[in-house]
Amino acid sequence: MNKVLARWNELPEDDAADEILPCCGSKAWARDLARRRPLRNEQDLLSASGEVWWSLQEWDWLQAFRSHPRIGESKVPQAAKPQSAAWSAQEQSRAADAGHSTRAALAKGNRRYEQRFGRTFIVCATGKSADEILEILRRRLKNDESRELREAAEQQRQIAEIRLKKWLQA
Would you call 100 a catalytic residue per the annotation?
A: no
Residues 25 and 18: their CA atoms lie apart, in Å, by 10
- For 70, residues 6+ apart whose C-beta sits below 8 A from its C-beta are 107, 110, 120, 121
Contacts of 4 (CB under 8 A, 6+ apart): 167, 168, 169, 170
Marked catalytic residue, from 31, 68, 128, 157: 68
Q: Which amino acid is at 132?
A: E
Q: Compute the chain's Rg from CA coordinates.
A: 16
**What are the residue numbers of the active site?**
68
